Amino acid sequence: MTPFKLTVMTPDGIAYEGEAVSIIATTDEGEVQILARHADYLAALGTGRVKLELPDGTVRTAASSGGFLTVQNGEVTLSAVTFEYKEDIDLERALRAEERAKKELSSAKDARDERLARARLNRAVSRIRIAREK
Protein backbone atom coordinates (compact mmCIF):
# COMPACT_ATOMS: atom_id res chain seq x y z
CA MET A 1 0.00 0.00 0.00
CA THR A 2 1.07 3.58 -0.60
CA PRO A 3 2.60 5.20 2.48
CA PHE A 4 1.83 8.75 3.64
CA LYS A 5 3.46 11.10 6.14
CA LEU A 6 1.96 10.83 9.60
CA THR A 7 2.60 12.86 12.73
CA VAL A 8 1.01 12.04 16.07
CA MET A 9 1.42 14.71 18.72
CA THR A 10 0.17 15.64 22.17
CA PRO A 11 0.82 18.76 24.27
CA ASP A 12 3.64 16.73 25.85
CA GLY A 13 5.48 16.08 22.62
CA ILE A 14 5.55 14.07 19.42
CA ALA A 15 4.48 10.43 19.79
CA TYR A 16 5.04 9.30 16.20
CA GLU A 17 6.60 10.94 13.18
CA GLY A 18 7.19 9.08 9.96
CA GLU A 19 5.47 7.00 7.31
CA ALA A 20 2.31 4.97 7.70
CA VAL A 21 -0.03 3.19 5.30
CA SER A 22 -3.22 3.46 7.34
CA ILE A 23 -4.58 5.09 10.46
CA ILE A 24 -7.86 4.23 12.13
CA ALA A 25 -9.08 6.68 14.77
CA THR A 26 -12.22 7.14 16.84
CA THR A 27 -13.93 10.43 16.03
CA ASP A 28 -17.03 11.84 17.67
CA GLU A 29 -19.05 10.31 14.84
CA GLY A 30 -17.45 6.86 14.92
CA GLU A 31 -14.32 5.18 13.63
CA VAL A 32 -12.64 6.49 10.47
CA GLN A 33 -9.80 5.10 8.43
CA ILE A 34 -7.42 7.33 6.50
CA LEU A 35 -5.30 5.95 3.66
CA ALA A 36 -2.83 7.66 1.36
CA ARG A 37 -4.05 10.47 -0.95
CA HIS A 38 -7.03 11.32 1.21
CA ALA A 39 -8.70 14.71 0.54
CA ASP A 40 -8.17 17.51 3.06
CA TYR A 41 -10.08 16.52 6.14
CA LEU A 42 -10.81 17.60 9.70
CA ALA A 43 -12.48 15.63 12.47
CA ALA A 44 -12.77 16.00 16.23
CA LEU A 45 -11.59 12.92 18.09
CA GLY A 46 -13.44 11.17 20.84
CA THR A 47 -12.05 8.79 23.42
CA GLY A 48 -11.03 5.45 22.03
CA ARG A 49 -8.68 3.31 19.98
CA VAL A 50 -6.16 4.47 17.39
CA LYS A 51 -4.58 1.92 15.07
CA LEU A 52 -1.51 2.72 12.99
CA GLU A 53 -0.27 0.47 10.23
CA LEU A 54 3.34 1.11 9.30
CA PRO A 55 4.86 0.41 5.85
CA ASP A 56 6.73 -2.65 7.20
CA GLY A 57 3.44 -4.24 8.21
CA THR A 58 3.58 -3.63 11.97
CA VAL A 59 0.35 -2.54 13.57
CA ARG A 60 0.46 -0.36 16.67
CA THR A 61 -2.56 0.17 18.85
CA ALA A 62 -2.96 3.12 21.18
CA ALA A 63 -5.52 4.69 23.49
CA SER A 64 -6.21 8.33 22.77
CA SER A 65 -8.66 10.98 23.90
CA GLY A 66 -9.65 14.38 22.63
CA GLY A 67 -8.02 16.38 19.90
CA PHE A 68 -8.21 16.43 16.14
CA LEU A 69 -7.39 14.38 13.09
CA THR A 70 -6.41 16.44 10.07
CA VAL A 71 -5.30 15.77 6.53
CA GLN A 72 -3.63 18.64 4.73
CA ASN A 73 -1.91 18.26 1.36
CA GLY A 74 -1.72 14.52 1.89
CA GLU A 75 -0.02 14.80 5.29
CA VAL A 76 -1.93 13.36 8.19
CA THR A 77 -1.70 14.83 11.68
CA LEU A 78 -3.31 13.48 14.80
CA SER A 79 -3.15 16.02 17.61
CA ALA A 80 -4.58 14.33 20.68
CA VAL A 81 -4.83 15.47 24.28
CA THR A 82 -3.62 12.09 25.48
CA PHE A 83 -2.07 9.31 23.40
CA GLU A 84 -0.53 6.16 24.83
CA TYR A 85 0.62 3.08 22.97
CA LYS A 86 -1.00 -0.13 24.17
CA GLU A 87 2.25 -1.38 25.71
CA ASP A 88 2.74 1.91 27.60
CA ILE A 89 -0.65 1.91 29.31
CA ASP A 90 -0.43 1.67 33.08
CA LEU A 91 -3.26 -0.79 33.71
CA GLU A 92 -3.07 -0.50 37.51
CA ARG A 93 -3.38 3.26 37.28
CA ALA A 94 -6.28 3.02 34.83
CA LEU A 95 -8.11 0.62 37.16
CA ARG A 96 -7.60 2.99 40.09
CA ALA A 97 -8.81 5.89 37.94
CA GLU A 98 -11.91 3.90 37.03
CA GLU A 99 -12.74 3.30 40.70
CA ARG A 100 -12.19 6.94 41.56
CA ALA A 101 -14.25 8.19 38.62
CA LYS A 102 -17.15 5.90 39.57
CA LYS A 103 -17.12 7.28 43.10
CA GLU A 104 -16.97 10.85 41.82
CA LEU A 105 -19.84 10.15 39.46
CA SER A 106 -22.08 8.90 42.24
CA SER A 107 -21.28 11.90 44.45
CA ALA A 108 -21.36 14.56 41.72
CA LYS A 109 -23.10 17.71 42.89
CA ASP A 110 -23.85 19.50 39.64
CA ALA A 111 -23.96 18.84 35.91
CA ARG A 112 -20.40 20.06 35.42
CA ASP A 113 -18.95 17.68 38.03
CA GLU A 114 -20.93 14.88 36.51
CA ARG A 115 -19.68 15.63 33.01
CA LEU A 116 -16.05 15.77 34.16
CA ALA A 117 -16.38 12.52 36.09
CA ARG A 118 -18.08 10.80 33.16
CA ALA A 119 -15.28 11.89 30.81
CA ARG A 120 -12.70 10.61 33.28
CA LEU A 121 -14.53 7.29 33.54
CA ASN A 122 -14.69 7.00 29.75
CA ARG A 123 -10.94 7.55 29.44
CA ALA A 124 -10.17 4.98 32.11
CA VAL A 125 -12.50 2.39 30.59
CA SER A 126 -11.06 2.91 27.12
CA ARG A 127 -7.49 2.50 28.45
CA ILE A 128 -8.43 -0.70 30.29
CA ARG A 129 -10.19 -2.13 27.25
CA ILE A 130 -7.27 -1.43 24.93
CA ALA A 131 -4.62 -2.66 27.37
CA ARG A 132 -6.48 -5.97 27.75
CA GLU A 133 -7.01 -6.53 24.02
CA LYS A 134 -5.15 -9.43 22.49
Partner 1 sequence: MAGASMNDIKSRIKSVQGTMQITKAMELVATSKLRQAKLRAERTLPYMRQLLSLMNSITSASELRDSVWCQSSDAGKTLFIVIAGDRGLAGGYNSNITKLLRSIAPEGSSVFLPVGKKARDFIARHGYECPLGAIDYVADAGVGDCMTLATGICEAYTRGDITRVVLLYTDFVSMMVQTPKVSELLPLGKNADEKDAPSPIFEGDPSLMMDKILPLYLGGALHSAIASAYASECASRRTAMNSANKNAEEMIGELTLKFNRARQAVITQEITEIVSGAEAL
Q: Which residues bind partner 1 (CB under 8 A)?
A: 7, 9-14, 27-29, 32, 39-44, 66-68, 70-72, 77, 79, 81-82, 112, 116
Q: Contact, 82 vs 70, CB < 8 A?
A: no
CB of 57 to partner 1, least distance (A): 27
* Cβ neighbours around 30 below 10 Å, total: 9
Q: Which is nearer to partner 1, 59 or 115 (CB)?
A: 115
For partner 1, which is the closer residue by CB, 32 or 128?
32
Instruction: For partner 1, give the closer residue by CB, 3 or 66.
Output: 66
Q: How far is the CB of 82 from partner 1 (least distance, A)?
A: 7
**CA pair distance 96, 125, nearest whole angstrom:** 11
Least CB distance to partner 1 at residue 118 (A):
13
Residues 76, 80, 86: CA angle, nearest 5 degrees: 95
